[in-house]
Amino acid sequence: MRIPWTILLFLALFSACKTSKKVATPVSNYPNNVGDIHPDPLLDDPAFRACRESNIPQYYSVQSGFEGEKPAIERYFKQNFKKSKAFEQENGYLTIRFVVNCNGQTGRFRILEMDLDYQPKKFPEALSGQILQLTKQMTGWLPGKSETIPYDYYQYLTFTIVQGEIAQITP
């Protein structure tokens, strides 16, 4: 019996594509999820505890929020942020990320600073430190919920700084 050359060619190509060994996936030191904030004893309040360290979703994955929602957050910063002439030349974005635990307590605050072209930037400590302190002092974060189960969650606030003033807060 003669096998047509097209079948032989197909079999040759197919066998060349087949791998003979499984490649082991190396163990990684990367977090399970992009954006995980691991505890750091040099930065974090030792009293803060996440309720479920292995499962901290993003704020939009669970029912979460702030009492009074965004208008209350904007009002809080409008009332408490102290403007300064020293900040008048400052423009950019200052993002503060943190964890809200299942009891509504906050911790693990991290700052990311960039200019209006999304390039790394360092704001004066008096400006970034003030916004960080005000964020840490906020009370009113609601625990995350999925059905009736309380959850920890990651939250962030991005402050658009224009001429040293808070022009916008997102989300």
Edge-first strand order for the sheet with 63-66 is: 63-66, 141-146, 149-151
Which tens digit of pLDDT belongs to each residue from 11-35? 444 444 444 444 444 444 555 555 6
Span of 26-40, 49-63, 140-154 with lowest mean pLDDT:
26-40
Mean per-residue pLDDT over the chain, rounded: 85
Q: Which helix (H) or strand (E) holds 30?
A: none
Domain limits, the chain = 37-170
Compute CA distances 54 → 30, 71, 111, 125, 140, whole Å: 14, 32, 23, 33, 24
* Conformational region of residue 119, where left means phi above 0, alpha means psi within -120 to 50, and beta covers everything else: beta
pLDDT for 158: 97
